Amino acid sequence: MRIRTFDEYQTAYQKSVDDPEAFWAEVAQNFQWRKPWTKTLQWNFTDPDVKWFVGGKLNITENCLDRHLAERGDQPAIIWEPNDPNEAGVTLTYKMLHDQVCRFANVLKRNGVVKGDRVCIYMPMVPELAIAVLACARIGAVHSVVFGGFSAQSIADRINDAQCKVVVTADGAYRGNKEIGLKSTVDDALIGCPSVQKVIVMTRTRTPVSMLKGRDVWWEQELKQVTADCPAEEMDAEDMLFILYTSGSTGKPKGVVHTCGGYMVYTTYTFQNVFQYEPGQIFFCTADIGWITGHSYIVYGPLASGATSMIFEGVPTYPDCGRFWDIVDKYKVNILYTAPTAIRSLMGFGLEKVENHDLSSLQVLGSVGEPINEEAWYWYNDHIGKNRCPIVDTWWQTETGGTLISPLAGITKTKPTYATLPLPGVQPVLVDENGKEIEGNGVSGNLCMKFPWPGILRTTYGDHERCRQTYFATYPGLYFTGDGCLRDKDGYYRITGRVDDVLNVSGHRIGTAEVENAINMHTGVVESAVVGYPHDIKGQGIYAYVITESGASSHDEDLTKRDILATVSRIIGPIAKPDKIQFVTGLPKTRSGKIMRRILRKIAEGDTSNLGDTTTLLDPAVVDDIKAGAI
Ligand code: PRX
């Protein structure tokens, strides 16, 4: 399964294209299956219908836990670093993690969860979050983790979409110097969620919470009622493992569905090869388990590999901007995987807090979530990697399950800002607007995939047609990523960003339509249009053009802006708050009523010199007004 040289990469890649089924069947031999599959792959991108390891039976937790017990039962599986550096951390060996997962799986059962039920998890970054995730997988329940920064409304939308039966949460969460009430947010959400029968609440902050009789139970008390004996449920390779909601260019977030077999094989294969993980190394992925990066590269990929994976509860700037380096030094982290936005924000604080830490344990650095600009790449390389750690710029998506394009650490020659080459099994193509493949090198276009890999999404929960429309209809026969991309003269890929109406703010995906809907719910707002603009730290900032009933100048703008931000926070969460709000009297619309976002984007970028053709606009004069009022 492990590639060790560039020649081996090329051989593996060739084989994966010539005979994908044989290639993946060989990789999949490295896992524990209860029953072997009868057909490696069945697929078409029209319906779409993709099935890997058809007829195979397994349980992913047997691969992540049980099979390691004999050989490395006493090795740390999870090392947890709390928000407060003065609080004691927790190390869970594989034995301990296995024990705790089995116990909590029994708690879920006790509370009525059976195979196939959906469980919403809304928790801080504590070991219990990983335990809850794995406990669901143990009994065949489908987890839907909701990032702890989302609002009650967002939780309710996700719970209702998936018809979750149980919610697992905590009283509260610590993030930097803030204490955030999680249970109270869940309580607000559940007012509109009739499917939820039980709420299991873990104690973290001891914030006072209200516990509803018959519905709410304490994690710790429940644990006293169960044993550690919980045989794993036998799952079909194509049974659902989890749902994870992500934003698109239209409508509400959709529930991306991943299944047991293919996802396990793909995350593990990519974890080991991209990072070149060696047994005993400490792997630190700074993402939250609420996002796909945490699912694939804190929980499943590392644990299925028998690795030691860190969970960090806090933020990079608390108690000061040296926190990551403090953690690297304290635990002798070997592989650090973080996002460009974190690098850019830490760069701004200078080198003092970097240089007073010993970073010599680091061997590999990773980047994920958004394009990494050159300045950040070099800073990461020079000051963190000290010019001796390869940087793997991993490009992938919630929908892809694991990394698709990335260097293999120390094997693929890197190039700043390039995700470089496709991993074995990945067949990228660039297409023009008409879906025509652009061949050769030194070209750019829209990035698509022409063949399935085991980690590809199978559907969007409850709405297969939406999955087809979003990913497989734009360019028939291809999976469309939504990203623009260039392939340079060496065949190296560089992702240039989204080509649809999806923003990437601090590595978080946010749909412009979602933010607009939230703004439009604010009293007095008539209409709004949201675009992204380049932001030094966040990568992209959110710029909102808003029309209010009372007009732009007749009221206290600052107060209205503040209130609109509060509404967006309440509807989606603080991550979706616009950075800039401009009140306008009209929006540039075509005669058919379509907003010309291209113009709004240019104005938000501060580039008003060439707005292109505005003659098709219903009222070209609005453009001048907007230009005049730009922030
Ligand atoms: O635009 C790409 C960007 O993030 C999008 C996927 O977001 P999400 O599903 O939230 O998953 C993020 C973590 C995998 C992509 O469509 N993106 C992700 N990684 C990179 C990237 N853009 C450039 N370079 C990357 N390494």
Q: How far apart are CA 219 and CA 557, in angstroms?
A: 46
* CA 102 / ligand 1 centre spacing (Å): 34
99-114 core/surface letters (b: 16 or more CB in 10 A; e: else): bbbbbbbbbbbebebe
* pLDDT of 612 strictly over 90: no
Which pLDDT score is estimated for 503?
96
**The ligand 1 atom nearest the CA atom of 367:** 26
* CA 379 / ligand 1 centre spacing (Å): 21
Query: Measuring from atom 3 of ligand 1, which residue has the nearest CA?
Result: 370
Best of 370, 426, 540 for a ligand 1 pocket test (most atoms within 8 Å of beta carbon): 370
Which tokens go with 14?
């060739």
Which tokens go with 97?
């993690």
**Nearest CA among 410, 348, 406, 339 for reference residue 373:** 339
**ipTM of this complex:** 0.99
Find all residues with CB under 8 Å of 515, minimum gap 6, and list them.
503, 530, 542, 544, 568, 572, 576, 578
**Nearest CA among 471, 514, 466, 459 for reference residue 252:** 514
Q: How far apart are CA 337 and CA 367, in angstroms?
A: 6
pLDDT digits (tens, 9 = 90+) for 278-326: 999 999 999 999 999 999 999 999 999 999 999 999 999 999 999 999 9
Kindly report which listed range (359-373, 550-564, 583-597) carries the lowest average pLDDT score. 550-564
**CB contact at 8 A, 622 and 585:** yes
* pLDDT of 581 strictly over 60: yes
Q: What is the mean pLDDT of residues 88-104?
A: 98
Which tokens go with 576?
């979706």
* pLDDT of 28 strictly over 80: yes
Query: What is each CA distance from 569 to 113, 178, 339, 453, 517, in whole angstroms?
Result: 32, 16, 23, 37, 12
Percent of the chain with pLDDT over 90: 94
* CA 301 / ligand 1 centre spacing (Å): 18
* CA 215 / ligand 1 centre spacing (Å): 38
Which pLDDT score is estimated for 494?
98
Average pLDDT score over the chain: 96
DSSP 464: H
* pLDDT of 180 strictly over 90: yes
* pLDDT of 552 strictly over 60: no
pLDDT digits (tens, 9 = 90+) for 54-81: 999 999 999 999 999 999 999 999 999 9
Cβ–ligand 1 distance for 398 under 6 Å, the answer yes
* Residue predicted with more confidence, 432 or 621: 432
* pLDDT of 553 strictly over 60: no
Q: Is the pTM here over 0.90, yes or no?
A: yes
Best of 263, 397, 448 for a ligand 1 pocket test (most atoms within 8 Å of beta carbon): 397
pLDDT digits (tens, 9 = 90+) for 500-512: 999 999 999 999 9
> Which 3 state secondary structure label does DSSP give 318?
coil
Percent of the chain with pLDDT over 70: 99
Which pLDDT score is estimated for 611?
84
**Nearest CA among 596, 584, 592, 567 for reference residue 624:** 584
Cβ–ligand 1 distance for 503 under 6 Å, the answer no
Q: What is the mean pLDDT of residues 200-224?
A: 98
* pLDDT of 196 strictly over 90: yes
